[in-house]
Structure 1
Amino acid sequence: MALQLPSADLDWTALRNFAMLRGQLRVSLTPECNEKCWFCHNEGDVPPPFTHLNRDARPRKREMTAGDFLNVLGGLVDTGLKRVYFTGGEPLLSPLARPVLTQLPDRGPGATYTLITNGTLVRRHQEWLSATALDKVKISLHYFSDESLKAIASARFGIATILDGIEAARETFERVELNTLVQRENEHELHDILTYALDRRLPVQFIELVDTDFNAARKGSAIGAQGIISHLRTLTSDEEVEVSGVGQGRRIFRIDGIEIDVIHRELGRHHVGQCGTCPLRSTCVEGFWSLRVDHAGGIKPCLLRDDLRMDIRPLLADPEKIPAAVARHVAAFTEGTL
């Protein structure tokens, strides 16, 4: 999508409301990954399992430098976005991970920096990671055995590598969380993953599948979260529902002070403006909950629609203009005029 430069009377309301409703800023450092999870959406780029089967389908080429990422990040954090997540692919595979994560801009009160990783490279990069301003590391644990790891991620390494990465993260960071996509391939291990998390006092989030074109061939693997919800209710009566803010609703359970979240589509999702007439709305389970900045110089408010992606490359040499351009883009999206 062509970049629209801001006018002097730009209204920042939509972007600031999004930030106030706990909207996320997700920064994808690379589309590359050392796993090929069948359900991967790669933050809207071509995911590794699809590239593996279709060699001509390649992710976008990297256009952003570490300095570009830091300039964009600093400007957007200054607008009030408080929840920043660094993703991939596997972000620690990117040569930009270290220069970006070790030079994170200062942020205001209540803002947080989170690294989302599969855990395989945390031990290798533990020393420099310990010097970053990251507040939290969130590790994907969709498997609990070599068998399920191979079935889900087609990985060449074993589950011990991931579990060791979790331990390395626990040694390095005060806050470590797990997230698990609920699916048929790991249904028999969900209780084990929960027990593992509780034994280590790690918060864990169980997530229902987000449908994309790339995982359509295996939709039969998607299962609902009702099974894990029923199990959690046998362990605690401390349960509440959160449907405020942006994105999907969630059930929150607390067991001995440890928070267990379940992202549950039956609780609804937050749709705005453009979503009202979106042809993909009937299959979308997310709504508008994050702005995604990618390694190729794009920003978009939606996982499923590339036509909503804004190209910020023309502004990389003049980064102070980027926040206003993003504000205009978000305003147009929320008003349904994008």
Structure 2
Amino acid sequence: MLVDDFGRAVSGVRVSLTDRCNFDCVYCHNEGLGDTRGPMDAQDHEMDTDDVVRFLEVAREFDVEAVKFTGGEPMLRQDLEEIIRRTPDGMEVSMTTNGTFLPGRAPDLKAAGLERVNVSQDALDPDDFAQITKSGAYDQVIEGVEAALAAGLAPVKLNMVVFEATAGYIPRMVDHVAANDGLQLQLIEYMPELVGNPEWAVDIDRVHGWLEEQADRVEHREMHDRRRYYVSSEDGDGEGMVEIVDPVENEEFCANCERVRVTHDGKLKGCLNRGDDHRPMGGMTKPEIRETFRETVANRVPYYGEYLVEEDGEWVLNEKYVRKPATADD
């Protein structure tokens, strides 16, 4: 595996297959690119099937163990099953989706090699769901979750972005996953640095505290230094797992990050929050992709934050975020 200057081995990649989406979620940051979405028809700048597979083959050469396909909405790609089928052996394949296209396609995705799905579900009320997603597809999402479970894609993680509009639904969502076998809950901290509207943010530490009070047990997960909370259902017959993704101002989260990302138009990037390190791979040969991969890993920064600051009208590196770890000789 490639290891960056801060001792983090890159064991996973997150590949955006498109920036198109049939939702218009108010919190969307489109893999850190902002609102770049255009027409719903396939776009020339999207990586084609061979581009995606070529990159994954190179990633596997570097012992990358897992790939997560994202978007936009990755299921708008009609070649998704082929991409999954051609993903190199030895790579775990998962996907983040809004779930609306899972009915009818979940069995084929499973047969192609998909192992897990994360489904975005931010509320248990159709009207509030529509306000957040700008979509009336609540029922289709519920059907999509059921289709994924029926196809054997369990456990299905429900992704819920935690901000002002959704925080009140956390207790109900926790009860929901505790009462339904095969479901887990992933609470994702709202990121105003990428989306704006900082007034929407809530104190994620309060969410941690509340979950700790509710949980029967708490498990530490090495990846990203996350905690998993196991909460019993109201009738005591079930148990739900809840995990919080909280990268904002969290040095420990970044210190355990083992992923690099690929944008929908084929650019490698070392961090979700960076826009200055994109390395295009379009038209590259495998040797060129290998070198680009090495460069991306070598240029990773240690901490999600303001890695560039403005001084006298110019953007300069913020030493707080690019400092290298101390050595025994320091």
TM-score bracket for the superposition, by shorter chain length: 0.7 to 0.9
User: What corresponds to 1:122 in structure 2?
Assistant: 102
2:309 maps to which residue? none
Q: Does 1:14 align with 2:11?
A: no
2:227 is aligned to: 251
Aligned partner of residue 4 in structure 2, secondary structure: helix
Q: TM-score, normalised by structure 2?
A: 0.78
In structure 1, the residue matched to 2:198 is 219
Question: SS of the counterpart of 1:203?
Answer: strand
Work out the CA distance in 2 between the residues paired with 1:15 and 1:37: 36
Instruction: Work out whether residues 135 and 175 of structure 1, in 8 Å CA contact, stay in contact via their aligned partners in 2.
Output: no
Q: Distance in 2 between matches of 1:80 and 1:211?
A: 34
Within a 5 Å distance, the mapping from 1:311-330 to structure 2 comes to 311-315=280-284, 318-330=285-297
Deviation per CA, 1:165-218: give whole Å up to 9, x if none: 1101111123321121111112222111111111113121112112234x21x2
Bigger strand fraction: 2
1:241-262 deviation digits (Å, cap 9, x = unpaired): 45x55x5x42221235643212
Q: Is the 8 A contact 2:161 2:188 kept in 1?
A: yes
| 1:276 counterpart residue number | none
For the residues of structure 2 that align with 1:228 and 1:128, how far apart are their CA atoms? 37
Q: Is 1:25–1:292's contact at 8 Å kept on the other side of the alignment? A: yes
* Equivalent of 1:261 in 231, 235, 243: 243
Partner of 1:207: 188
Give the Cα separation in 2 of the matches to 1:178 and 1:131. 22
Per the normalisation by structure 1, the TM-score is 0.76
- Conserved? CA contact 2:93–2:114, under 8 Å: yes
CA separation of 1:331/1:267 partners in 2, compared to 1, >3 Å: closer, same or farther?
Answer: closer
Secondary structure of 2:13's counterpart equals strand
Alpha-carbon distance in 1 for matches of 2:107, 2:254: 42
- Decide whether the 8 Å contact of 2:84 with 2:93 is kept in 1: no
Q: 1:40 and 2:28 equivalent? A: yes
Answer yes or no: is the 8 Å Cα contact 2:98–2:119 preserved in 1: yes
Asked if residue 102 in structure 1 is aligned to residue 85 in structure 2, the reply is yes
Q: 1:63 to 1:180 in 2, by over 3 A?
A: closer
Q: Distance in 1 between matches of 2:62 and 2:180?
A: 36
Does 2:212 match 1:233?
A: yes
Look up the match of 2:270. Answer: 301
Q: RMSD of the alignment, in Å?
A: 3.0
Listed as ranges, the gaps of 5+ residues in structure 1 are: 1-10, 273-286
2:118 corresponds, among 138, 144, 147, to 138
Structure ranking higher in helix proportion: 1
Matched letter for residue 29 of structure 2: H
SS across alignment from 1:74: helix
Work out whether residues 207 and 225 of structure 1, in 8 Å CA contact, stay in contact via their aligned partners in 2.
no
Residue 288 of structure 1, CA deviation: 5.6
Query: Number of residues paired by the alignment?
Result: 293
Gapped runs of 5+ residues in structure 2? 233-238, 303-321, 324-330
Q: CA deviation at 1:154?
A: 0.8
